[in-house]
Amino acid sequence: MTEFVSLEVDNGVGTIRLNRPPMNALNRQVQEELLTCADEATRRDDVRAVIVYGGEKVFAAGADVKEMATMSYSDMAPVARRLSAGLGAVASIPKPTIAAVTGYALGGGLEVALSCDRRIVGDNAKLGVPEILLGVIPGGGGTQRLARLIGPSRAKDMVYTGRFVGAEEALAIGLVDEVVAPDEVYDRAVAYASQFANGPALAYAAAKRAIDGGLDTDLRTGLDIESDGFAGLFASEDRTIGMESFVENGPGKAKFIGR
């Protein structure tokens, strides 16, 4: 059982819900529960896409500073990689993932959102990596995923200054993908995720593996990853269904089974 993070499933869409009032501070327990829920979402065949949601008022305002304030180097060094794994747990889910962000997504909160494939935010959202104001740097993937997403210059500006970025600026620099009214955020995320509920699950996983794996290596190796994933899908039932449906009925009419 988890206390602060839950996975709820409805019509193929899983929602990983952060619920540690008032600000969803991401202490070590929450980080471990994120790993647990990400693993469950990965294993469950009835989960085809995943939303991460912090509620109507806030996504997550960062790591639990009170918990970290008393830690020494010898305390942090053995657990730093585990912290990074917890805040980045959603990135390991081989399915489409969407962060549904209202209010603050700061520090570890933004790092959780960065681990998703897509970010849909309310026009009241404030995003940032203010760890520098505490005398440290982002430790949950912020320096790496942020730079890959918006480029090193913009990432350095956000990390160096610790400033908060509003929704419209975040959209302009590619930090987020959609801006809607705060009370529409979750419904919009569900609408986006639902299009994958009956899709070719193995193909989504292969696409995610190829894109993410290719970004971590050179072009030639990335092309090899793509080729291996492409060829592997010819062993899937969905490939047979998809191609036979295309030949007989045209595009977009296949009824996939996820195998």
d(CA 247, CA 253): 11
d(CA 177, CA 188): 12
For the purposes of burial, counting CB atoms within 10 Å of the CB of 2, is it exposed (0-12), middle (13-18) or buried (19 or more)? Answer: middle
Enzyme catalytic residues: 111, 131
For the purposes of burial, counting CB atoms within 10 Å of the CB of 52, is it exposed (0-12), middle (13-18) or buried (19 or more)? Answer: buried
Provide φ and ψ at 162, rounded to 5°: 70, 15
Residue 86: which residues within 8 A CB-CB, separation 6 or more?
26, 28, 30, 31, 32, 34, 35, 140
To which residue do tokens 């104001």 refer?
133
Is-contact 118 99, C-beta < 8 A? yes
For the purposes of burial, counting CB atoms within 10 Å of the CB of 33, is it exposed (0-12), middle (13-18) or buried (19 or more)? Answer: buried
